[in-house]
Structure 1
């Protein structure tokens, strides 16, 4: 039972995910999917019919595309996130109150996360690692103590 090929999948995915606004793009895309699914709801569930034309289907598709483009083209994340937030607000009028508020909120939060993502940011250090480093720094002898054997 060798685990050779599977060992590299998870670290590779983590590295790919760290180089882009993953959660922002995912939430924006999920918001678009949710709004699209509520358009197919039965008439008993629909609260607000809105403009049941092209805009009812176009805006959630644009949300979905912006989410995917944020994932696969993070260099243009600012443009896609601004379009995503505007389109998410537009679903309020065109698509069952923005997919019963769920798709609207997913799109807004995802767009804001993508807009605020910084590509050159240092990776986060876990709390456990920070505690270990602080404990090691407290217990390590002072540099002058090691050289001279006396306290400073």
Structure 2
């Protein structure tokens, strides 16, 4: 009787392992597919420049919302932080989905980064401005990768 219970438990365990193994394999396949699609997306878009622009905008808005003790100026500076930060996030996302206008988005992101230094708490205490300038430059300078030519085979000796 005890052996029959152990055998039943063992088969239940084996069935559970098989089910978990199948689920893990499906998860790995899904993750692998997601990584392939993300890689393809990154290679056909100014991904990193857009990411830096969006992070710069988030950082500038974050420092705009902080208590008065940390804020350098109030009034227009607070509104400018929201306008410039939101604009940077918008430019970063727009660069991802419309890479045709990358030059315009890159230059506008660069200029908003410079404007954030003056208008929005030193550009999020310098970090936001630096990220915006970096991201704008990367978006503006991005070029779609050209497919590589296949390598020619080595020539045989003496030909």
- Shorter chain as denominator, the TM-score bin is 0.7 to 0.9
Q: 1:55 to 1:45 in 2, by over 3 A?
A: closer
Deviates more, 1:2-11 or 1:70-79: 2-11
TM-score normalised over the length of structure 1: 0.76
Deviations 1:55-100 (A, max 9, x none): 3321111111001101111111111111111111111122100000
Aligned partner of 1:40 among 65, 69, 80? 65
SS at match of 1:144: coil
Deviations 1:73-130 (A, max 9, x none): 111111111111111111112210000000000000000011111114457xxxxxxx
Q: 1:10 to 1:112 in 2, by over 3 A?
A: same
CA distance in 1 between counterparts of 2:147 and 2:63 reads 39
Give unpaired runs (5+ residues) of structure 2: 1-21
TM-score normalised over the length of structure 2: 0.73
The equivalences for 1:51-66 within 5 A come to: 51-52=76-77, 54-66=79-91
> 2:54 aligned with 1:26, yes or no?
no
Give unpaired runs (5+ residues) of structure 1: 124-132, 148-152
* Structure having the larger proportion of residues in helix: 2
CA distance in 2 between counterparts of 1:52 and 1:98 reads 10
Paired residue total: 131
Q: Partner residue of 1:143?
A: 156
CA distance in 2 between counterparts of 1:69 and 1:25 reads 8
Deviations 1:2-38 (A, max 9, x none): 2333331111110111101110000000000000000
CA distance in 1 between counterparts of 2:82 and 2:157 reads 71
Q: Partner residue of 1:91?
A: 116
CA distance in 1 between counterparts of 2:37 and 2:53 reads 23
Q: Partner residue of 1:129?
A: none
Q: Partner residue of 2:15?
A: none
Q: Partner residue of 1:10?
A: 35
Considering only aligned residues, what root-mean-square deviation do their CA atoms show, in Å?
2.3
